[in-house]
A and B are shown apart, each in its own frame.
Chain A
Amino acid sequence: MNCRKAKAFFSKLYDLDLNPETQEAVKEHIVTCPECTSQYKDFEKAIIILKLLKKVDLPAHMANDRSPSSEKKP
Chain B
Amino acid sequence: MNADEVSLIEEAKKGSRAAFNKLFSNEQKSVINLMFQLTGDIASAEDLTQEAMIMAYKKIMGFRLESSFRTWLSKIAINLFRIHYREKRKHETLCLEKVRIPSTDDRPERIIIKRELQWCILHNLQYHLSEKYRLALVLRDLHNLSYKEISQIGDWNLVQTKSYIHRARKKFKEQFINGKCKAFADDYACVCEGILDL
* Shortest beta-carbon distance from B147 to chain A in Å: 8
Residues of A near any B CB (own CB < 8 A): 8, 10-12, 14-15, 17, 42-43, 45-59, 62-63, 66-69, 72-73
Q: Are A67 and B176 within 8 A (Cβ)? A: no
| Interface contact A48-B195, CB-CB below 8 Å | yes
Q: Which B residues between 112 and 169 are near A, CB-CB below 8 angstroms?
A: 117-118, 121-122, 125, 137, 141-142, 147, 162, 165-166, 169
Asked if A11 and B32 make an inter-chain contact with CB atoms under 8 angstroms apart, the answer reads no
Q: How far is the CA of A56 from the CA of B40 in the complex (A)?
A: 11
Complex-state Cα separation, A47 to B46, whole angstroms: 26
CB–CB A11/B165 < 8 A: yes
Q: Which residues does chain B contribute within 8 Å of A14, judged by CB atoms?
A: 169
> Within the complex, what minimum Cβ distance (angstroms) separates A66 from chain B?
5
Contact flag A50-B54 (CB < 8 Å), given A10-B166, A42-B173, A56-B36: no
Contact with A along B44-64 (1 / 0, CB 8 A): 011101110110110000000
B17 near A54: Cβ-Cβ < 8 Å: no
- A47 with B57: in contact, given A52-B195, A52-B198 (CB under 8 Å)? no
Q: Are B32 and A46 in contact (CB under 8 A)?
A: no
A72 to B46, CA, bound (A): 10
Tell me which residues across on chain A come within 8 A of B170, comparing CB atoms: 10-11, 43
- Measured CB to CB, the nearest residue on chain A to B56 is A68
**Residue contacts A-B, CB under 8 angstroms, 5 given:** A11-B162, A11-B165, A11-B166, A59-B46, A72-B47
- Chain B residues within an 8 Å CB radius of A57: 29, 102
- Which 4 residue pairs of A and B lie closest in terms of their CB atoms, listed nearest first? A11-B166, A68-B57, A46-B173, A53-B121
Complex interface: chain B residues within 8 A of A45 (CB): 173, 177, 185, 189, 195
Q: Which residue of B lies closest to A48 (CB)?
A: B195
Residue of A nearest to B100 (CB): A56
